Amino acid sequence: MLRDLRGDDNSLHLGPGEDLRPGWLNIGIWPEPPTSAGGVTIVEHDLRRGLPVPPGSCSRIYSSHFFEHLPWRDGEALMALCLVALRPGGEFRMALPDFELVARRYLAGDEAFFDEYVPRDRFPIHSRPGAESLIDFVNYTVYQDGEHVTMFDAQKAVSLLTALGFRNARVTEFDPAWDLDLPVRRALSFYVHAER
């Protein structure tokens, strides 16, 4: 438990990968520990085991493309702990893969969309040469070689946060104050924001 947190204005970034944010507690596990730069705090911690912060100690909690990597029960439990960790009025935000968009683009046969945002050279085609199909893009986007284990849509994310006790859970637009500004993330994400 990180007990030396100062005040109630701490910002947590859950499962940040390479998006390490100055002024935030970047909490996650990495295959190789990242190098800490000036103003960046890294906390190596398996978030399936809870949040290492005291109740009511955080003003903001953010995650981008993280909760789909957790088994359902672990993700739901972590969201509940986020509510506990937030101070009254604290904000929770997450960016999630937009699987509904992927399904719509697949059903429309929109190969140009997948070619633009999921280039063929970024993933192994899961079929024999000459047997490639649009479903190969969907398989990568949805399952990401077995790394994605839980799917959300906007309705599920909002209703789950509401059921857990968050206030004003809603789908929002991209917000540069919170969200990673990469074209592929903006094209393939939806954003949910809520308060304690």
Using alpha carbons only, give the angle 166, 102, 111 rounded to the nearest 5 degrees.
Answer: 160
Q: 154 — phi, psi (to 5°)?
A: -60, -45
CATH of domain 10-97+147-195: 3.40.50.150
Q: What is the pLDDT of residues 135-164, one digit of tens each?
A: 888 888 888 888 999 999 999 999 999 999
- CA dist., res. 80 & res. 84, Å (int): 7
CA–CA distance from 34 to each of 13, 43, 80, 87, 178 (Å)?
15, 10, 28, 29, 21
pLDDT-derived band at 125 (thresholds 50, 70, 90) equals low
Q: What is the pLDDT of residues 18-34, one digit of tens each?
A: 999 999 999 999 988 77
Long-range CB contacts (within 8 A, 24+) of 18-21: 19/64, 19/180
> What is the percent of the chain with per-residue pLDDT over 90, rounded to a whole number?
71
117, pLDDT greater than 90: no
pTM of the model: 0.91
**Residue 18 Cα to chain centre, angstroms:** 13
- CA dist., res. 96 & res. 52, Å (int): 23
8 A C-beta contact, residue 44 and residue 29? yes
Question: Domain ranges in the chain?
Answer: 10-97+147-195, 100-144
